[in-house]
């Protein structure tokens, strides 16, 4: 069965802080004609410059994925790209009036909820799947991570995370088209280790972080004073470490929510191959750097096969 390209039935707008910059931005996802792909437009810079969601424009992978073209950047694109991929959107133009996509609740859920309300429109053009003719593997000696991509009749993604954490343990997550992305992947939130938070603040990262948009893992014993300091940092009532090793700011949606969020990220970063990839993707200890490096290798492979 041939799948048709799809776009949004209407435009959807969101407003919030960027996780890393802390800057408030308004983002609007607009319908787009067939064969447009996914385009970002920084309306505060130029209404005529589009940054395509393609791997060759990746300029930074420091805790999120940044795209840059002609000196114009869009930061933290992965959750939105994951939502559009998981919901089967081929074509959209995304207007953003600041540098960073809002973090919202730390997952793709706000985008999913909006798109579900009004639905998706089929377009009079077949979906152009991206296919490869042989297996590739990308590894990183520095992080011990690897991604293997194998030709397949339908897309699937497998993720294994291992942070040498007693709290997280080794977690696995999987998605294929027989599963509901919206209910099983897209609602999973970003996470951070308690001992990393102060470092990230000091290095001008997670300026927009708060206790509503991130799972916090408390790997090591912490004192009452440390918890009080963190509570003041986020300007919230006193935080506590739960018996399961997580901060009590959020309730987990799944026991392996952290692995599922890494799966969400992987699917978003892999949209940078330029569309829907027909392949089996297996990732171990993945992150934005190896995700986007693999997407770049796939883009080169696709170009060679044209």
- Any idea which residues carry the catalytic annotation? 288
Backbone angles phi, psi at 279, to 5 degrees: -170, 160
Question: In DSSP terms, which residues pair with 173 in a beta bridge?
Answer: 159
The two tokens of residue 104 are 């919202």
Cα–Cα separations (whole angstroms), residue 237 to 123, 155, 248: 49, 44, 11
Residue with tokens 């940078």, as numbered in its chain: 272
Beta carbons within 8 Å of 15's beta carbon, 6+ residues apart: 24, 25, 26, 27, 102
CB 82 within 8 A of CB 264: yes
Beta carbons within 8 Å of 281's beta carbon, 6+ residues apart: 147, 148, 149, 150, 155, 156, 157, 158, 266, 270
Cα–Cα separations (whole angstroms), residue 139 to 57, 78, 147, 285, 288: 21, 21, 7, 10, 13
Q: Report helix, strand and coil shares of the chain as percent, to nearest 5.
A: 25, 30, 40
How far out from the chain centre does Cα 40 lie? Answer: 15
């Amino acid at each position: 069965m041939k799948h048709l390209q799809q776009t949004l039935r209407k435009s959807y707008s969101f407003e919030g802080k960027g996780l890393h910059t802390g800057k408030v931005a308004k983002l609007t996802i607009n319908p787009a004609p067939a064969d447009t792909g996914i385009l970002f437009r920084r309306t505060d810079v130029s209404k005529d410059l589009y940054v395509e969601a393609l791997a060759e424009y990746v300029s930074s992978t420091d805790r999120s994925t940044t795209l840059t073209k002609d000196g114009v950047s869009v930061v933290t694109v992965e959750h939105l790209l994951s939502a559009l991929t998981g919901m089967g959107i081929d074509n959209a133009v995304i207007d953003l009036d600041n540098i960073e996509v809002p973090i919202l609740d730390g997952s793709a859920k706000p985008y999913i909820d909006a798109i579900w309300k009004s639905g998706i429109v089929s377009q009079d053009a077949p979906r152009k799947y991206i296919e490869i003719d042989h297996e590739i593997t990308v590894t990183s000696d520095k992080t011990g991570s690897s991604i293997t991509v194998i030709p397949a009749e339908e897309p699937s993604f497998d993720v294994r995370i291992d942070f040498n954490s007693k709290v997280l343990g080794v977690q696995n997550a999987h998605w294929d088209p027989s599963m509901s992305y919206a209910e099983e992947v897209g609602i999973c939130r970003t996470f951070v280790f308690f001992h990393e938070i102060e470092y990230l603040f000091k290095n001008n990262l997670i300026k927009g972080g708060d206790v509503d948009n991130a799972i916090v893992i408390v790997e090591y014993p912490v004192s009452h004073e440390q918890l009080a300091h963190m509570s003041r940092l986020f300007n919230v009532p006193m935080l506590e470490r739960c018996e399961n090793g997580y901060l009590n700011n959020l309730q987990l949606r799944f026991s392996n929510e952290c692995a599922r969020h890494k799966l969400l990220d992987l699917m978003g970063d892999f949209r940078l191959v330029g569309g829907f990839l027909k392949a089996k993707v297996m990732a171990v200890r993945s992150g934005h750097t190896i995700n986007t490096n693999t997407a770049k290798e796939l883009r080169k492979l696709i170009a060679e096969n044209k």
